[in-house]
Amino acid sequence: MTYALEFIKDGSTPGTPEGNEEVFIVAVRRAHDGNVYTFPASYLNSFPLQYEDEPYERETTGWFYPEGDGDNDRTYIALLGPSDRLEAWAKIPKYKA
């Protein structure tokens, strides 16, 4: 069975419930070389993250790349650098056995 991704290119954001994180496939145009790269990324919607300075916990919304394992060792890095552009995002299809 083949699964196709349906990319959303209209500039909208996912309907991720408030306080949650969801993983999507994104297409990002990198400013340093102008190429579009496709990879998984997380969308956070008012997701509580721990910061090193006050206030230590902040609700965060946007596109991030998670690194690390588990809840306590995970770090979120902003997906887009200066002049990078999110071209599209797609839901990851569910496997049907």
Higher pLDDT, 74 or 77: 77
For residue 63, give the amino acid letter. W
pLDDT at 55: 79
Query: Does the pLDDT value for residue 7 go beyond 80?
Result: yes
- Do 72 and 10 touch, CB atoms closer than 8 A? no
Q: How far apart are CA 48 and CA 66, in angstroms?
A: 14
For residues 17, 7, 40, 77, the Cα torsion angle rounded to the nearest 10 degrees is: -70
With a CB cutoff of 8 Å and minimum separation 6, the contacts of 34 are: none
The pTM of the full predicted model, rounded to 2 decimals, is 0.86
DSSP-assigned beta bridge partners for residue 38: 27
- So where are the chain's domains? 20-91
Higher pLDDT, 39 or 73: 39
